[in-house]
Copies of this chain bind each other. A is one copy, B any other.
């Protein structure tokens, strides 16, 4: 059946609308993306949301009104993606809407309740699209003791779980993060941890040597040589020896870490980039290797997936794994969250859970979202 997933992120860029063909439930869900659009917010819409995001400028009238105004924007985004696909919105089985997060209090200050607020009134979307709407996916997990976040792991489980391959989703942002989905995984088998530096050290060195924000296309690293002695020393960082679960951030591999490396070792700029890129590649591979039987697909996403030098180094370090980007697997990074909503909404309509307690901290699996029936 056809469905539209809606996502409106905290960047306030606009409304992502993914039209998908979806069938089955839970492990047997199959989803195919038919059309994806982003409807940008106007400057006025963005200003209005920003006003209501802040305690000092928000008001009950403003939030009441914004809830319905966003519902209308979301409804129109559904009509737009349907129009581009040449179908009527009445051909949809459902719309699944994340809503615009106005506030998120998973840990409450004194006197307040643990709570979350996503606006974009479902009844308005229902009325505009003539379609049943599933919405408010975070509240139930929060009510069940979870953080109400992250919201996408269930969809990652559904989309990437494979009977043919063990898979590891390796996101490479500032920090590297791996989600391990073993062959024929059950939901409770999923686990995630930070592998160590992603682009953080590479970016810092680029800024230091070249006044560039990042090593575009991995060109500096490709022009240099890895200093094996330095690499060997860097891989001795105690974080790499820790067993998962483990998380890290700027406090271990940030600006100060790179500054101290530059004091300890004197390398040519491109050699530094090659060595730091090798550090990211080898620390990732070393971290995931214990969970990567032969034939594992290591699926890279995030900024690091646009660095071919990094990808080559990862593949070289992992001869028994297949290093792939999300795009090589037929996925689209930009549509990922909107697609995820359709998987969650489909679960809800079948009275099935879609939170991942091991990821959110909820006491148990619960059905996420509320259903507003068109007919």
On A, residues with C-beta under 8 Å from B are 52-56, 58-69, 71-72, 102-105, 108, 112-117, 121-124, 126-128, 135-136, 139-140, 142-144, 348, 351, 366-367, 369-375
Contacts and interface: CB of A to CB of B under 8 A. Distances in A.
A66 B373 CA distance: 26
Given A53-B60, A59-B59, A371-B371, 6 more contacts: A64-B102, A68-B116, A123-B140, A127-B366, A136-B372, A367-B375
A55 B64 contact: no
B67 A59 contact: no
Given A123-B139, A372-B370, A375-B351, A54 B64 contact: no
Contact of A121 (B53, B61, B105, B115): B115
Contacts of A108: 65
Contacts of A136: 122-123, 370, 372
A67 B115 contact: yes
Interface of A is mostly: mixed
B103 A60 contact: yes
Contacts of A64: 102-105, 115-117
| Best-buried of A113, A122, A144 by chain B (most CB within 10 Å) | A113
Nearest to A144: B127
A59 B65 contact: no
Contacts of A122: 136, 139, 370
Nearest to A118: B64
Contact of A348 (B66, B105, B373): B373
5 contacts: A55-B61, A56-B59, A69-B113, A348-B373, A369-B372
Contacts of A139: 68, 121-124
Nearest to A135: B370
Contact of A60 (B102, B140, B375): B102
A105 B59 CA distance: 14
Q: Which 9 A-B pairs have the closest CB atoms?
A: A68-B115, A123-B139, A127-B143, A123-B140, A58-B60, A64-B103, A65-B112, A64-B117, A68-B113
Given A58-B58, A117-B64, A370 B367 contact: no
A365 to B, nearest CB: 11
A372 B62 CA distance: 26
A128 to B, nearest CB: 8
A61 B101 CA distance: 12
B63 A60 contact: yes
A170 to B, nearest CB: 33
B52 A60 contact: yes
Contacts of A67: 115, 117
A314 to B, nearest CB: 41
A52 B64 CA distance: 12
A140 B126 contact: yes
Contacts of A69: 112-113, 115
A113 B65 contact: yes
Contacts of A116: 64, 68
Nearest to A104: B64
| Best-buried of A60, A65, A374 by chain B (most CB within 10 Å) | A60
A140 B117 contact: no
